[in-house]
Amino acid sequence: MRARKEVAACENLKRELLRSQQVLADLETQRFMFVRNRGKSVKWGGAKKAAEEQLARLDAAIASSKSDSILHEQELHSRQIALEKLQDDATHGRSHGMGKGHGHDDNQRNKLAVVAAV
């Protein structure tokens, strides 16, 4: 069950990573088009200042998007390692999912103890 949750989490992270990479590509395209079309034609005055501010905002958005992509990649990598460990443990008969009683829930164990005491 835990492995299924990890698989689902990995799939969600893959989607988020793809989405953030698409956002990054879109922002880089916007920056390129801005510089090509407007950035070079503006030489002085208020228009130049506005163009520089817009370029700075685009650069900040690109930096933020890059850091988001890096965080998603790191999270996905750690989740994939955890999933591989869970799958390896399941293959070799090692289980870490149920705590300290041989696969029994604590409430189940307590109910059995109460029934045995009566």
| Residue 73 and residue 17 in contact, taking contact as beta carbons nearer than 8 Å | yes
Q: Is the dihedral of CA 79, 85, 89, 90 positive or negative?
A: positive
| Residue 89 and residue 96 in contact, taking contact as beta carbons nearer than 8 Å | yes
Q: What is the pLDDT of residues 66-111, one digit of tens each?
A: 999 999 999 989 988 988 888 888 777 766 555 555 554 455 555 5
| Residue 83 and residue 6 in contact, taking contact as beta carbons nearer than 8 Å | yes
Predicted local confidence at residue 9, as pLDDT? 86
- Mean pLDDT value across the chain: 79
Res. 116: pLDDT tops 60: no
